[in-house]
Structure 1
């Protein structure tokens, strides 16, 4: 016997030359389906309960399938929602500018929309970088002098008229 064998796990068999595991034979479940687990099955006795049936209510004729008022709805019709404005053709910048120009909108909302839209409408005073400055200087230099656009030919052969 190995000294201090009582300090080791009882599953280890230290009496043999090497350490080996003892086969599991303690009857503990290892996997698979558990008896009684899962959703309870319906019995024939439980068949008495009838499921609730939903009453089908047709929307009024003045409301379409999406719940919006139709064009033929009478004025003051209390059911349904007003169809929102079609914004598919508007860009986000156009929408922001529309909010800015709307005098009935809250002033804070108008100021916030103006603050968001301003960089897309107006360039900052000192925002031009080195590349833009060089491009502007090149445009200015190319407009005159040797590298400027050439003058068109004179129409002497046709008496000064275009052919």
Structure 2
């Protein structure tokens, strides 16, 4: 049972981290975004205006009816497209035997398992090998605090 829970935690952590990475990269339909894309005038610097233009372009791309607003349906469609692109990249990257499917072994590369174990240990602040509800809540609050720190000031 303990091994099953740990394996589930590893998989959930990998998915959450990977999903967060895709969101953080902010690419069009989940595609990674690079410095050159954001530096639209190729001057070697990214300005606030270039970042705002990128945001406006993403808004326009998701606003399929062009009315200047995003509906729930438009947001869901944009999210579904990003999820499809992410899933394709994940299979492409991890499918070692090229069968179009990911096995538990392919998902649990050694470095991922080590990172997941370190994350677990960070949350398990009393070091007893389990995560209490209080430890879980503290980790979630800490994560929310980090997101707020990284969010751009308006």
- Fold similarity call, TM over 0.5: no
Greater relative CO (CA pairs within 8 A, separation 6+): 2
TM-score, normalization by structure 1: 0.18
Report the structure number with the largest CA radius of gyration.
1
More helix by share: 2
